[in-house]
Chain A
Amino acid sequence: MKTLKKPYPPGDFGIWIIIYIELVTFGAFFLGYAYSRRLDVVLFNESQLLLDQRAGFINTLLLITSSWLVVRAVQTIKRMKEKEAIKEASFYLLGAMSLGSVFLVIKMVEFSGKYAQGLNLSTNTFFMFYFVLTIFHFLHVLLGVIILYNLYEKTKQGGYTQQEHTGLESGASYWHMVDLLWIVLFVLIYIIR
Chain B
Amino acid sequence: MRTITSIWMVLVLLSMFAFLVGWFKITSSFFIALLLLTTFIKGQLVIDYFMDLREVSLKYRLIPTLWLMIVLSLIGVAYYFPLHP
- A interface residues (Cβ-Cβ under 8 A, vs B): 3, 5-10, 16, 19-20, 23-24, 27, 30-31, 34-35, 37-41, 53-54, 56-57, 60-61, 64-65, 67-68, 70-72, 75, 173, 176-177, 179-180, 183-184, 186-188, 190-193
Contact = CB atoms under 8 A, between A and B. Distances in A.
Given A20-B63, A183-B42, A193-B27, A5 B4 contact: no
A183 B64 contact: no
Nearest to A188: B75
Contacts of B49: 71
Contacts of A67: 46, 50
B65 to A, nearest CB: 11
Q: Which 10 pairs between the two chains have the least Cβ-Cβ distance?
A: A191-B22, A34-B78, A68-B8, A57-B19, A176-B50, A34-B75, A38-B83, A27-B71, A176-B51, A64-B11
Interface of B: 1, 4-5, 7-8, 11-12, 15-16, 18-19, 21-23, 25, 27, 32, 35-36, 39, 42-43, 46-47, 49-53, 55-58, 60, 63-64, 67-68, 70-72, 74-75, 78-79, 81-85
A191 B67 contact: no
A191 B82 contact: no
A16 B60 contact: yes
Contacts, number: 140
Most buried by B among A40, A54, A184: A184
B42 A192 contact: no
Contact of B46 (A16, A24, A176): A176
A93 to B, nearest CB: 15
A172 B58 CA distance: 20
Contacts of A23: 63-64, 67
A82 to B, nearest CB: 18
Nearest to B47: A180
Contact of A180 (B22, B46, B55, B75): B46
A192 B39 CA distance: 11
A40 B83 CA distance: 8
Given A57-B15, A176-B51, A9 B60 contact: yes
A9 B15 contact: no
Nearest to A13: B60
Given A6-B55, A64-B8, A53 B75 contact: no
A61 B15 contact: yes
B15 A184 contact: no
